[in-house]
Amino acid sequence: MAEFIKVQGEELIRRASKLAFDIWREHYIPIVGEGQVEYMLDKFQSERAISGSIADGCDYYLTEADGQDAGYFALKIEPDGKAFLSKFYVAKGFRGQGLGRKSFEFVKRLAQKRQAEEIYLTVNKNNSDSIGIYEKLGFENRGSIVMDIGGGYKMDDYKMVFDLTVPSNR
């Protein structure tokens, strides 16, 4: 049974950050290297960074399964009404159990409640496992995005979009 807990307060922020560090180090080092992973963790997934994102209107959620932190995601409704799924992760020991799909169904409900017409995310071009999962969930690849993130690093991603106006996607 999956439970979604809105991240509020220091303890939940600490748990989300710890989970991020564990997942990112396991998953992304083979894709982008240790240096970029550590830089991005500090910049985007540290307790300080998560607190700042929440203060800027991003909603973070922990996914709990069997009483354990099993994943997390972050969603921000932008001024144009689009929902940016900036984080969407399941811990290694919980993959293949349907938690990603359950989490995404929850994300869709959140976005629909806020009248979003689409959910979009960015994914590293070499992250083929995640790209495949997003395609199975109904996301479409809308092209490349390359962003300088500082520290001599770039994010070389695809933008993927899930259209909430398509009846079969609701």
Q: Where are the domains of the chain?
A: 2-169
8 Å CB contact between 108 and 119: yes
State percent of the chain over pLDDT 90. Answer: 96
Residue 5 exposed, middle or buried by CB count within 10 Å (0-12, 13-18, 19+): middle
State percent of the chain over pLDDT 70. Answer: 99
| Residue whose entry in the numeric block shows the structure tokens 């910049």 | 43
Convert the pLDDT of each residue in 2-37 to its tens digit: 999 999 999 999 999 999 999 999 999 999 999 999
Convert the pLDDT of each residue in 76-129 to its tens digit: 999 999 999 999 999 999 999 999 999 999 999 999 999 999 999 999 999 999
Q: What confidence tier does 155 reach under pLDDT thresholds 50, 70, 90?
A: very high
User: Would you say residue 167 has pLDDT above 90?
Assistant: no
Convert the pLDDT of each residue in 33-46 to its tens digit: 999 999 999 999 99
pLDDT of residue 10: 97
Beta-strand ranges (E) seen in the chain are 2-6, 59-65, 68-77, 83-90, 118-124, 140-150, 153-163
Name the amino acid, one letter, at 44.
Answer: F
∠ Cα 67 6 141 (to 5°):
100
Q: Which CATH superfamily is domain 2-169 in?
A: Gcn5-related N-acetyltransferase (GNAT) (3.40.630.30)
